[in-house]
Amino acid sequence: MIRVAIMASGTGTNAKALLKAESELSDVSVELVITDKIDAGVIEISKSFSKPIEVIEKKESTKTEHESRIKKTLKDYKIDWIFLAGYMRILSSDFIDSFFDSNIQQSRIINIHPSLLPHFRGLNAYERAYEEKSEHIGISIHFVDGGMDTGKIILQERFQSDFNHGFEEFKEQGLALEHKLYPHVLKNLPLIQQKGHL
Ligand code: GRF
């Protein structure tokens, strides 16, 4: 059984899609949800799936202290893989290295980013793509490395928009694709763990 933790800071719609998919898997199990925000929507979502949720706020602690509390929790739950789902902090290289898998030469940390990488790295990717009426719109799921949304791509898909509708509709369209792709990656985690790609 591959033991997964989801880390999220916000609404948690991706966490929800992952938890829904996980209930039908026999070789992958979401054992834990971690959030750094006391009022994150993901807390209620985890509870509704009867999953342990650990709220680990940074507050006055340093980044190193905060991450070592997270690492300890991940260790307590014997977590093999982390799925970042709107986790709004940059992880340090020390943290990323602590999940390095020498077999696949990648960290066992995966992120979902709402753009067709390498376009629109960083914050507010939907907003920037919409503003520009970009033709490079899509969703990317990638391994986490030391850079900002620079890790090796696992899965990527475009979507189309004529930009005639409002931003909210555009974002909904992207989120619907996120909710399809991230569970697909979770389902195929045994393969990714073995080969380093889908
Ligand atoms: C998603 O757009 C995801 O791609 C990005 O953060 C957002 C999280 O949304 N990394 P939610 O909390 O899963 O609804």
Distance 86 CA to ligand 1 centre (A): 4
User: How distant is the alpha carbon of residue 34 from its chain centre?
Assistant: 12
**pLDDT tens digit string along 4-55?**
999 999 999 999 999 999 999 999 999 999 999 999 999 999 999 999 999 9
Catalytic residue among 66, 113, 142, 179: 113
- Across the chain, which distance is largest between two alpha carbons, in Å? 49
Q: Retrieve residue 181's tokens.
A: 């792709």
Residue 33 CB–ligand 1 contact under 6 Å = no
**pLDDT tens digit string along 77-132?**
999 999 999 999 999 999 999 999 999 999 999 999 999 999 999 999 999 999 99
Ligand 1 nearest atom to the CA of residue 125, by list position? 2
From 87, 90, 175, 179, the mutation candidate for ligand 1 (largest count of ligand atoms within 8 A of CB) is 175
Q: Is 113 known to be catalytic?
A: yes
Strands 81-84 and 2-7: parallel
Does pTM surpass 0.85?
yes
Query: Going by CA atoms, what residue is nearest to atom 3 of ligand 1?
Result: 86
Residue 66 CB–ligand 1 contact under 6 Å = no
What is the rounded CA–CA span in Å between residue 89 and residue 87?
A: 6
142 close to 151: Cβ distance less than 8 angstroms = yes
Query: Going by CA atoms, what residue is nearest to atom 8 of ligand 1?
Result: 86
Distance 157 CA to ligand 1 centre (A): 16
Residue 162: pLDDT over 90? no
Phi and psi, residue 27, nearest 5°: -115, 0
Q: What is the mean pLDDT of residues 141-163?
A: 96
Ligand 1 nearest atom to the CA of residue 113, by list position? 4
> Which domains are delineated in the chain?
2-115+140-158+179-195 (3.40.50.170)
The residues, ordered by sequence, that sit 6+ positions from 40 with a Cβ below 8 Å of its Cβ are 8, 9, 10, 11, 12, 55
Query: Going by CA atoms, what residue is nearest to atom 1 of ligand 1?
Result: 86
Residue 54 CB–ligand 1 contact under 6 Å = no
Ligand 1 nearest atom to the CA of residue 8, by list position? 12
